[in-house]
Every structure is written in structure tokens, then in C-alpha cells.
Structure 1
Amino acid sequence: MVLGWLLLLVMALPQGTIGVKECIFCELTDSSNCPGSHMHCGDDENCFRGQGTSPGLGPIINKGCMKSTLCGREEPVTYQGVTYSLISTCCYGHLCNKSGTGDSLGNISVSLLLVLKMWPPYQQH
């Protein structure tokens, strides 16, 4: 019985939390709209969204896959002749870097709550 519930939980997880991750790729841009294209990440990579700032200028962004050990680091990047301080934030899940912010942890929480609600000890009669 427990094995059945664990299988159900794994099936309820958002696509991409196990196996191959697919992320959005977008070159450095100063546009707030970065629809990008789909790319597959390696086993030791996560999706990321980078945001760069430079005094007196608007932000730049980029998206893609990044090794887990590099997440959260700040690095200088040059875009159109200006050096920006770029911080890359990783997220964990299928296409989790599609929108401006957020990750799939909220989706996992919702999936877990749904499974618990269906689990016999928590069902309301």
C-alpha cells in the first residue's frame, strides 16, 4: 500500500523534477520579454535566470542551464560595451525559468497536498 502511494506521489510531481530537465534559453538581453527557446540540461545542471545590473542603467537578463555548483554566484558580464554584475538564480523543475521568477517547489507542494488529501488517514468522511 505504501509503495502505491509513493508511486502516486512520483507521478504527481511536475514533469522535469526527475529525469531530463528542459529549460528556457535566452541570450543576454535588456528586454524584459525573453521568450527564448527550449533546451535540455545535463544531469548536474538546473535551469537558471540571470539578472544583471549596472549603476544608472536598466537590468539585463538571460536564461538557460547551469551547473548546480554555480547557482547563486555573482559575476561580471559585458553587454553592449557595459559591464554588469550578473547574479544567476537556479530553479528546480521543468521549464521553471520560463517566467520572470519562481520555481517548481510550489507545484511540488500542491502535488503533495493533493496526494495527502487522497490518502485514507486524511480523508474526511
Structure 2
Amino acid sequence: MVRGWLLLLVVALPQVATGAKECIFCDLTDSSNCAGIPMTCGDDEECFMGQGTAPGLGPVINKGCMETTSCGNEEAVTYEGATYSLISTCCDGELCNRAPIPAGSLKAGATTGLALGVQLLLH
């Protein structure tokens, strides 16, 4: 019975970050749907997403870890021969710079987890 309650708590409660933060890394690209790869940030770093614009051209993005003091800064970057004005925006939380999650996905996952936990309690 106690194991069932513990499992229910583990499934139902949000994950608590301990130590290093995980973020998504994506090199400078013109894709707004860069899934990227997970990376671990340092203690003084935050996850970020950089968005760049250039007159007459489509946007570029990049993602990764950045020192907190650099968040919100604007810089000139070159991508495929064009110079873009890139602004990096930091976010707080594990993998907060990943691609947006479709509406309803988290709710469905939480509901399934709770249902499994309750089912274990009843058996």
C-alpha cells in the first residue's frame, strides 16, 4: 500500500530540478522547428532561444545555454552570408527552450499517470 502511494506521488508531482539544468541545443538555423539535442548547462547559465532577423529574409533561431548576464542581449550574427540581428531570450526551467508542446499533451500525460497510480493503489 505504501509503495502505491509513493508511486502515485512520483507520477503526479512535477519533477524537481537538482544540480545542473538540461536545455535544448540547436545551432543557428533557419528552421523554426528545430527539435535540437539535450545539453547540460553550467551553474551560472540559463536555457535560451535566440531569434534573428534581417531585412528581406526569413528568421533564424538558435538554442542552448547562456550565461545569465548575457540574457536579452542583441548581437550581429552571420548565417549563409547574411547578417542578422539576433536577440537571445532566456527561460527558467528544465528544457524550457524546447519546441512548444501541442495543447492537451501534458494534461493527457498527467491524467494517464494519475490513473495508473490509482489503479496500483487499488490492487
Name the TM tier (shorter chain): 0.5 to 0.7
C-alpha distance in 2 between matches for 1:15 and 1:88: 25
TM-score scaled by length of structure 2: 0.68
Partners of 1:24 and 1:95 within 8 A in 2: yes
C-alpha distance in 2 between matches for 1:69 and 1:13: 28
Q: Which residue is 2:16 aligned to?
A: 15
Deviations 1:47-67 (A, max 9, x none): 000000000111000000000
TM-score scaled by length of structure 1: 0.67
Displacement of 1:19 in angstroms is: 2.0
Q: How does 1:1-80 map to 2 (within 5 A)?
A: 14-16=15-17, 18-80=18-80
Residues paired across the two proteins, number: 90
Q: Which residue is 1:86 aligned to?
A: 86
Specify the SS of the correspondent of 1:58: strand
Displacement of 1:15 in angstroms is: 3.4
Deviations 1:56-107 (A, max 9, x none): 111000000000000000000000000000000000110000025xxxxxxx
AA partner of residue 90 (structure 1): C
C-alpha distance in 1 between matches for 2:48 and 2:66: 6
Partners of 1:14 and 1:94 within 8 A in 2: no
Specify the SS of the correspondent of 1:43: coil
Partners of 2:33 and 2:99 within 8 A in 1: no
Gaps of 5+ in 1: 1-11, 101-125
Displacement of 1:20 in angstroms is: 1.0
AA partner of residue 66 (structure 2): M
Specify the SS of the correspondent of 2:55: coil
Displacement of 1:13 in angstroms is: 5.9
Larger-gyration structure (1/2): 2
Gaps of 5+ in 2: 1-12, 101-123
Identity score, percent: 68
**Which runs of at least 4 in structure 1 moved beyond 2 Å after TM superposition?**
12-16
CA RMSD of aligned residues (A): 1.9
Q: Which residue is 1:98 aligned to?
A: 98
